[in-house]
């Protein structure tokens, strides 16, 4: 089977040396700190951090071990909150984007009153997080921790730790980069096709740019959607922070949390996806 071809309309964004076109990459940097600009852009958002993301299974397994209630921080439109409620867990979904929370409740409502009733939505910014209840599992999924500025992370982690019940856990994931490789190659690009089932063909070229001095990262997504009669293009951006594993471990310790389990999965020769399970 031949590899799919990137549309000609997007070739102007390609680097001169070309770029990889993954077939089914399970871990792609996501739109952690940006909401869909419109209903059409939501397809890209859900592709990167959507209901078929690979991290749902381990997070559900962890919830079965800890029990509920579950705190889903940076919930978006419910890619984790709704499946958790479907499995019988009470969930508080926290996000700063009200349209995403509205979409979450609409999705839960379409499933039924039982699922809808297990979810409470809270509009809040993680930079100024104030929790009210106690939770058995808190989630910072989809590399959400990388969307929090380093100076705001310690206070957020302390707030989460203070609201974990006995035997509770904080689970978070992030992308770990090889600093030497980033210094040598601070930009990279790749292309992928968005899975859609509405007759529209959508391709995305993602361009990643790192600033090691600021420990920051910007991803620009160039999306091209082609329907029966027209082609629509949109550009989305997300800004993140590069996570230093040693600094994060120190911040977790200062918050009264210890890393009880660590899972690593290599994305490419320079990058790994890291999942941490932290307990009080």
pLDDT score, position 33:
38
Q: How many domains does the chain have?
A: 1
Reference 68, options 156, 167, 142, 162; nearest CA is 167
> Cα dihedral sign for 57, 62, 68, 70?
negative
Q: Domain limits at 60?
A: 48-176+243-279
Q: Which of 31 and 215 is assigned the larger pLDDT?
A: 215
| C-alpha span between 55 and 174 (Å, rounded) | 12
**Cβ of 56: how many Cβ atoms within 10 Å?**
16
Question: What is the chain's mean pLDDT, rounded?
Answer: 82
Write the pLDDT tens digit of every residue in 108-145: 999 999 999 999 999 999 999 999 999 999 999 988 99
- At 7 the pLDDT is 61
User: 90-110: per-residue pLDDT in tens?
Assistant: 999 999 888 889 989 999 999
Close Cβ partners of 249 (under 8 Å, ≥ 6 residues apart)? 259
* Residue 13 within any structural domain of the chain: no
The total number of residues shown for the chain amounts to 280
* Strand intervals (E) in 124-250: 135-140, 164-177, 187-194, 201-211, 216-226, 231-241
d(CA 69, CA 140): 15
Q: Are 238 and 232 in contact (CB under 8 A)?
A: no
The whole-number pLDDT of residue 18 equals: 41
Check if the beta carbon of residue 202 is closer than 8 Å to that of residue 43: yes
Two tokens, residue 68: 């509920």
- Beta carbons of 70 and 137 less than 8 angstroms apart: yes
Asked whether residue 5 is assigned to any structural domain, the reply reads no
Coil, helix or strand for 260? strand
Phi then psi for 70, rounded to 5 degrees?
Answer: -115, 140
- Residue 14: predicted pLDDT: 46
| Residue pLDDT, tens place only, 35-74 | 444 555 554 555 555 444 667 888 999 999 999 999 999 9
Residue 194 lies in a domain: no
For residue 232, name the pLDDT band (cuts at 50, 70, 90).
confident
Query: Has residue 197 been placed in a domain?
Result: no
Highest mean pLDDT among 6-15, 41-50, 74-83, 85-94 belongs to: 85-94
User: Tell me, what's the pLDDT at 171?
Assistant: 97
The first and second tokens of residue 280, run together, are 């009080």
Give a yes or no: residue 187 inside a domain. Answer: no
Residue 34 covered by a domain: no
**What CATH number is attached to the domain comprising 135?**
3.40.50.150
Whether 70 is covered by a domain: the verdict is: yes
Q: Is the predicted pLDDT of residue 6 greater than 70, yes or no? A: no
219 near 242, Cβ under 8 Å?
A: no
- For 123, the token pair is 């509009």
Q: Which residues pair with 94 in a beta bridge?
A: 73, 122
- Residue 25 domain-assigned (yes or no): no
């Amino acid at each position: 089977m031949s590899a799919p071809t990137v549309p000609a309309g997007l070739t102007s964004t390609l680097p001169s040396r070309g770029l990889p076109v993954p077939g089914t990459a399970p871990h792609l940097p996501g739109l952690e700190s940006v909401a869909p600009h419109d209903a059409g852009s939501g397809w890209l958002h859900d592709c990167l951090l959507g209901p078929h993301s690979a991290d749902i299974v381990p997070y559900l397994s962890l919830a079965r071990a800890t029990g509920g209630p579950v705190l889903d921080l940076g919930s978006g439109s419910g890619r984790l909150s709704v499946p958790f409620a479907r499995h019988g867990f009470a969930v508080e979904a926290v996000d700063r984007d009200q349209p995403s929370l509205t979409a979450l409740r609409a999705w839960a409502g379409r499933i039924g009153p039982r699922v809808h009733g297990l979810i409470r939505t809270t509009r809040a910014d993680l930079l100024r997080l104030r929790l009210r209840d106690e939770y058995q599992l808190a989630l910072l999924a989809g590399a959400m921790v990388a969307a929090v500025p380093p100076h705001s992370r310690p206070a957020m982690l302390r707030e989460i730790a203070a609201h974990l019940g006995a035997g509770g856990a904080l689970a978070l994931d992030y992308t770990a980069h090889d600093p030497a490789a980033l210094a040598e190659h601070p930009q990279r690009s790749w292309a992928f096709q968005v899975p859609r089932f509405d007759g529209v063909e959508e391709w995305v070229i993602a361009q990643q740019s790192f600033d090691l001095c600021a420990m920051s990262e910007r991803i620009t997504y160039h999306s091209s959607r082609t329907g029966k009669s027209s082609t629509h293009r949109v550009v989305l951006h997300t800004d993140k922070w590069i996570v230093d594993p040693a600094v994060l471990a120190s911040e977790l310790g200062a918050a009264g949390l210890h890393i009880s389990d660590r899972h690593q999965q290599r994305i490419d020769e320079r990058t790994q996806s890291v999942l941490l399970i932290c307990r009080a």
